[in-house]
Structure 1
Amino acid sequence: MKNIIKYIGISAFALMLNSCDSYLDRQPDDALTIEMIFQKRATTQQYLFNVYSYMIDESHTAKNTPWLGASDEACITYLQRGYCYMNNGSWSPDSPPYQAFWKSYYQGIREANFFMQNVDKCPEINFEEKLQWKTEARFLRAYYYAMMMRMYGPVILLGDEVADITSADLDLGKERSTWEECMDYICKEFDEVAEILPEKQETNWYGKPTIGAALALKARMLLYSARKLYNSDDSFYKNIVSTEGKHLFPQAYNAKKWEWAAEANKAVIDLGIYDLYKEYTNGNLDPYKSYAGIYLSLWNNEVIFGRALNAKEWRYVTTPRGIGDLSYGGVAATQKMVDAYAMDNGRYPIIGYTDNGANPVFDPEANYTEGKFQNVKNPADGITYSNTNTMYMNREPRFYVSVCWSGEKWKAGSKTIDVEFYYGGNSGPGSSHNYSKTGYLISKMSDHSLNHANKEYGRFSWPICRLGEIYLNYAEALNECDPGNADILKYINLIRERAGVPNLEEVYPEEVKDQDKMRELIRHERQVELAFEGYRFFDTRTWRIAEETERGPVYGMNVMTTDHKPGGAFWQRTIAEKRIFNKKHYLFPISQEALDRNKKITQNYLW
């Protein structure tokens, strides 16, 4: 056997097999191969690693996924990527971007089923270890279904069947199950594996699933299911009927869904296993180090399920070009995302927009101005910048940890530059296609003590699930099923306390008493706390507000001008991109290729 990995390398969780001539590449109906694989502990374990290998690395935001590039929190420069076609409305069932997800996840499901049906044959593994490995494969099967459901809605449930490995569509001619059937299935699966999985994996196996991972994924999916996309009396999915005569989507609003979501998220909290990550300086909570440390302190106790990754790809696309080689600096925060961060007094500075997003409406109580230039201190690095736009002044700690603006210093190990995002600047357009379209970059998750241009990449935690999300999930669900419950403010304030901003009721004493206003405050807090982690894409869609948030112009600073002096043209809000979003775009289409092969599949709405 050549090139089969000998260990999982779980600290990075880079679970990919590189073999082109291994037992694992052969047909599962090859009796000799099956006999050989499942006679030895080592090769049986390697097959389990193969099941893990279908987990898509979602930190490769400029290449692997559209979660940032097709959301209102980010704008990515690179052309001819899937998110580009999504943003300009040119995608279709004939050319669906990211269709490989469908195939890859079904391959993972097939491999999980195959492993579960054969692992008992191995004579070198005891009963307890077989049970653990089968449970891991079963968890991964449910995880792959959940990952598809958030993209496509209802999917094809295969149960324990092993699809023919030679079948290109991998669905055995089945119709999609209903949304509720899919939800019932994955929730039951996550519940049952949670009874077997450990509370915590041994150090060498961090990244493998735990009780918390199973319950957290179940809780997230129940929250999605309670939101308007899948829980409304006016759903535009009502008329989607399967070839078997079933309504694929829920037909009416069900208030109980919010209770189920609240209970599921509280169950994760009540495990008592996880804590918000915090660091202290001179005995005092340091919100800057605390927020940054969620990602830079590997396997910290806030991460429920995640991966400790080589930061190379993330650093490539978020580091300003002026740092040097391998700095492509094209994954940019939008002006709207910059506007979302609170002031240090806890109030959100922008309360709306006029003229199709061109002009912000300021909160008069936020103490916010823009377009004026004076000395502005960045409390994260302690540097005071002269002649700097006051829109970057007196913002909350998460802003300074997460966003880089033009004129700020970017530190990369021993090298520091003054970032220039304007035309002809060291990190702007003009001499390269690697630049920020909005005049901002994402600093979050970058270790500034390292210079990746010297191949100092470092590692970071990519949280697939973390406790901060669970707190926000729980608060949102409670606000819908039990408005006024004290736990709503309790868990939102725990997030804000770690972020170094005042409690919500201190800042918005009247708004927190109103369910509708509280809903918007929770959504806003979620937008900021979970920024650039891949949540926003699914939040705007499941809330069914993406026709407002994802359609129309995307604004930033005017990077196409050389006039960057204080008050110059660079500092004017300028359209960086125009996007199209229609009702059909809430869910991905099933590819026409799959529809042609399998006449039983019902297509998604309007595709």
Structure 2
Amino acid sequence: MKKGKYILMGAILVGLGFTSCSDYLNVDRYFKEQQSNDHIFENKDYTLQWLSFCYSRLQGDNIEVGHSDICPTNFSDDQAFNEGNNGDRYRKFKLGEYGYGYSYGGYYTNSWPWAYDAIYQASILINNIYKNKDFTQEEITDVKGQARFLRAYFYWLLLKKYGPVPIMPIEGADYTKSYEELSFPRNTYDECVEFITSEMQQAAFELFERRDNLNICRPTKGAALAVRAKVFLYGASPLANGNTEMADFTDKSGRILIPQEYDESKWAKAAAAAKDMIEYAEETGFYRIYTVGVRKQDNDKSYPSTITPPPHEIYSNKNFPEGWQNIDPFESYRAIFNGELYAAENPELIFTRGLNKDGNNLETAQGIADLVRHQLPASCGGWNIHGVTQKQCDAYDMAWGEPFDRATCPDGYVTNDNKQDHLYDHVPNDVHMEYTNREPRFYASIAYNGCVWDCASAVEGKDEHYRYIQRWYYRGADDGRINGGQNWLITGIGVKKYVHPTDCANHGGSICDKVEPTLRYADILLIYAESLNNLTPGKSYDIASWDGSKTHTIKRDIEEMRRGVKPIRMRAGLPDYDNAVYQDPKLFFNKLVHERQIEFFNENQRFFDLRRWKIAEEHESEQIYGCNTLVNRDHRDAFYTPVRVANLQTSFSRKQYFWPITYDELKRNKNMTQAPGWQDYD
């Protein structure tokens, strides 16, 4: 690396506090003067400004949980959004019209350049931080670890979206050279996985174990170990492990970038990495599945009494995690996302951007709070444009764990006379019976027609006229279909996840802050179970732990798989799978696909899960169904007959497994190749 001068592109860091987590992630001011690297990295403030620029590039198009304007991958076959012309923008996204030459040509294009901006900055910091005389040696190590984590994390974001990408020189590219000299080809997928996981392993040695409330957005040792497990999982999955359908994904020398030979040991590495994180969590007590205790009160509409799950001979009389006797499954799940918890109070949260400001204008966008604004009904001051597909709505099981069956579900509506027919919900009168007796995660996530929106922060009227009101999506209702407008749900089913009981965007109300659930401990548990499931019964692998202190013997062990699944099921108030499921790899895989669909709904997981499993064509090519939004209340029975969403056709082609490289990047980098199926422009 040249020892010349570098342009200091650091974002101003306002302190190092939790408030600064939002500040350093939404400020993008540039120093205009050139300063020598010695001067920059000998100064504490300049060093932190340099680092904060890397953090700022986690925003915009690199956001991981956000609304449709900025995070389209949060919408797969589970959600749809309306944006004029009956969801025309969603239709184009579903058809893969987001490359050069399409109307989406200007959308979602910053993730690539922003990631490489940060990678370059992080590399320079890593190689120069030793010069700083204002930090203690412990602080130098931690700052270096933060930069290393961020550099690897940006490669991880690129790998998920674009597939194998160029790994830049670790000493930092020399931008005094010409474009041709700086042209780098893609590395192979395996090389990307190896680089990211090894960097996360090193970062785990360097990073602090804990952050105080003022620095909760900064990565920890646990975050590095968790991302390492996640990346190994993707490297083991069918998209990147023996995928002969991607034999034409090559660099310009003809080198095949996706491994053509299946390697089962990759699953063992993923399992070992997940086990590293699980054992670390159990040893330190830093991470666990979050639960709330049983609540018995009837005077607080926002926090109703606990609904005890249906009696079960094993789980009803045992405390969590062996059962659900002492927890409230509904509130345990809801509170993770809706702002009820500060990030530091949530033991399930491994890594977060905090109060992410998730727009390309980093100073004005509103993060998860803005996502909620897109979900709130219009009568609550929301945009009312994010809808749940019928497929996702029907995927939630019954309270006793059996699949929902539309053919046999009860007909009619909730009344005062049929309360005994739905003991496992708080569904109010006039709601269709198909929405009764569903598992608790359904009520924490789905805004069915006629559900109550609390809007408890509304203050106008000095009564409850604006609070605790049922909202309806029938045509002609306040929140129903609007001809010529876009603020209505194209599926007639809304989203409750992330919505706090106090959230209201009008009538003097407000939307409370909430943090992005970038990576949760629940994910690590399911990664462990999935990885073990893919090992040949009777075969074992000896793999060193992340720090070399022990050796894991990894094999397909039913009890170890249950160790990953059971806490998720118990928290949800649902029975664990029986042994027949655990013993059958295919049956278990199908259950796992379903479990992740429910547990990680609206967390930007489904889009990538379907692709890494290579089942996206099966699921995303299905037509989108919802309620019949053309129907008014007078013909309400017809509203609940699933219909295909008008003017919304979907399809899936092979090219949609990876995102296209932009024309500008292909023109600049003579060694870059396009992902299969997209225009190459040669």
TM-score, length basis structure 1: 0.89
Matched, 1:293 2:346: no
**2-structure distance, mates of 1:141, 1:410:** 42
Matched, 1:267 2:265: no
Matched, 1:494 2:567: yes
**2-structure distance, mates of 1:116, 1:6:** 22
Q: Which moved more, 1:49-58 or 1:77-86?
A: 77-86
| 1:373-452 correspondence to structure 2 within 5 Å | 373-375=413-415, 383-413=426-456, 414=458, 415-430=467-482, 432-452=485-505
Q: 1:115 to 1:8 in 2, by over 3 A?
A: same
Residues 218-263 of structure 1: CA deviation (Å, up to 9, x unaligned): 111111111111113x521113231234211101111111111111
Q: 1:165 to 1:50 in 2, by over 3 A?
A: farther
**1-structure distance, mates of 2:17, 2:422:** 38
> Is this contact kept in 1: 2:620–2:650, CA < 8 A?
yes
Q: 1:59 to 1:606 in 2, by over 3 A?
A: closer
Q: Name the residue aligned to 2:668.
A: 597
SS of corresponding position for 2:120: helix
Q: Which amino acid aligns with 2:452?
A: K
Q: Name the residue aligned to 2:263.
A: 254
Q: 1:78 to 1:178 in 2, by over 3 A?
A: same
| 1:147-296 correspondence to structure 2 within 5 Å | 147-163=157-173, 172-232=182-242, 235-271=244-280, 272=282, 273-282=286-295, 284-295=326-337, 296=340
> Is this contact kept in 1: 2:13–2:48, CA < 8 A?
no
Deviation at 1:500, TM superposition (A): 0.8
> Is this contact kept in 1: 2:472–2:478, CA < 8 A?
yes
1:40 pairs, out of 27, 39, 43, with 43
> Is this contact kept in 2: 1:329–1:436, CA < 8 A?
yes
Q: Which has the higher strand share?
A: 1
Residues 260-308 of structure 1: CA deviation (Å, up to 9, x unaligned): 1111111110102311000002583101110012223122101111133
Q: Name the residue aligned to 1:559.
A: 629
| 1:512-591 correspondence to structure 2 within 5 Å | 512-563=582-633, 565-567=635-637, 569-576=638-645, 577-591=648-662
**1-structure distance, mates of 2:178, 2:377:** 42
Q: Name the residue aligned to 2:93.
A: 86
Deviation at 1:19, TM superposition (A): 5.4
Q: Name the residue aligned to 2:528.
A: 474
**2-structure distance, mates of 1:212, 1:65:** 26
Q: Which amino acid aligns with 2:481?
A: P
Q: 1:131 to 1:337 in 2, by over 3 A?
A: same
> Is this contact kept in 2: 1:61–1:67, CA < 8 A?
no
Residues 342-372 of structure 1: CA deviation (Å, up to 9, x unaligned): 111112225xxxxxxxxx6x5xxxxx50554
Residues 111-161 of structure 1: CA deviation (Å, up to 9, x unaligned): 111222333333322332222111111110000000100001100100324
Matched, 1:305 2:344: no
Query: Percent of pairs identical after alignment?
Result: 29
Q: Which amino acid aligns with 2:342?
A: L
1:465 pairs, out of 502, 508, 519, with 519
Q: Which runs of 5+ in 1 are unaligned?
A: 351-359, 363-367
**2-structure distance, mates of 1:257, 1:36:** 44
**1-structure distance, mates of 2:213, 2:180:** 36
**2-structure distance, mates of 1:110, 1:591:** 20
| 1:92-171 correspondence to structure 2 within 5 Å | 92-95=99-102, 96=105, 97-163=107-173
SS of corresponding position for 1:504: coil
> Is this contact kept in 2: 1:318–1:331, CA < 8 A?
yes
**1-structure distance, mates of 2:13, 2:632:** 52
> Is this contact kept in 2: 1:315–1:446, CA < 8 A?
yes
Q: Which moved more, 1:48-57 or 1:239-248?
A: 239-248
Q: Name the residue aligned to 2:65.
A: 59
Q: Name the residue aligned to 2:375.
A: 318
> Is this contact kept in 2: 1:106–1:170, CA < 8 A?
no
**2-structure distance, mates of 1:239, 1:91:** 21
> Is this contact kept in 2: 1:298–1:308, CA < 8 A?
no
Q: Which amino acid aligns with 1:279?
A: V
Q: 1:516 to 1:448 in 2, by over 3 A?
A: same
SS of corresponding position for 1:75: strand
SS of corresponding position for 1:579: coil
Matched, 1:339 2:394: yes
**2-structure distance, mates of 1:42, 1:564:** 65
Q: Which amino acid aligns with 2:474?
A: Y
Deviation at 1:59, TM superposition (A): 3.1
**1-structure distance, mates of 2:573, 2:262:** 38
Deviation at 1:440, TM superposition (A): 1.2
**2-structure distance, mates of 1:49, 1:425:** 47
Q: Which amino acid aligns with 1:221?
A: V
> Is this contact kept in 1: 2:11–2:53, CA < 8 A?
no
> Is this contact kept in 1: 2:166–2:184, CA < 8 A?
yes
Q: 1:392 to 1:207 in 2, by over 3 A?
A: same
SS of corresponding position for 2:352: strand
Residues 144-184 of structure 1: CA deviation (Å, up to 9, x unaligned): 00010000110010032434669998992010011111111
Deviation at 1:521, TM superposition (A): 0.7
SS of corresponding position for 1:239: coil
> Is this contact kept in 2: 1:94–1:592, CA < 8 A?
no
Deviation at 1:384, TM superposition (A): 4.3
Q: 1:447 to 1:187 in 2, by over 3 A?
A: same
Deviation at 1:479, TM superposition (A): 0.9
Q: Name the residue aligned to 2:298.
A: none
**1-structure distance, mates of 2:528, 2:432:** 37
Q: 1:293 to 1:380 in 2, by over 3 A?
A: farther
Q: 1:330 to 1:564 in 2, by over 3 A?
A: farther
Q: Name the residue aligned to 1:357.
A: none
Q: Name the residue aligned to 1:353.
A: none
Q: 1:3 to 1:244 in 2, by over 3 A?
A: closer
Q: 1:100 to 1:384 in 2, by over 3 A?
A: closer
Q: Which amino acid aligns with 1:109?
A: I
**1-structure distance, mates of 2:26, 2:619:** 39
Q: Name the residue aligned to 1:485.
A: 558
SS of corresponding position for 2:450: coil
Q: Name the residue aligned to 2:14.
A: 6
Q: 1:265 to 1:410 in 2, by over 3 A?
A: same
SS of corresponding position for 1:38: helix
Residues 371-416 of structure 1: CA deviation (Å, up to 9, x unaligned): 5434477999974423432221110000011101111111111423
Q: Which moved more, 1:587-596 or 1:142-151?
A: 587-596
Q: 1:192 to 1:89 in 2, by over 3 A?
A: closer
Q: Which runs of 5+ in 2 are unaligned?
A: 1-7, 296-324, 356-366, 459-466, 536-554
**2-structure distance, mates of 1:113, 1:37:** 14
Q: 1:318 to 1:477 in 2, by over 3 A?
A: same
Deviation at 1:60, TM superposition (A): 2.4
**1-structure distance, mates of 2:180, 2:54:** 16
How big is the alpha-carbon RMSD for the aligned residues of Structure 1 and Structure 2?
2.7
Q: Which amino acid aligns with 2:505?
A: H
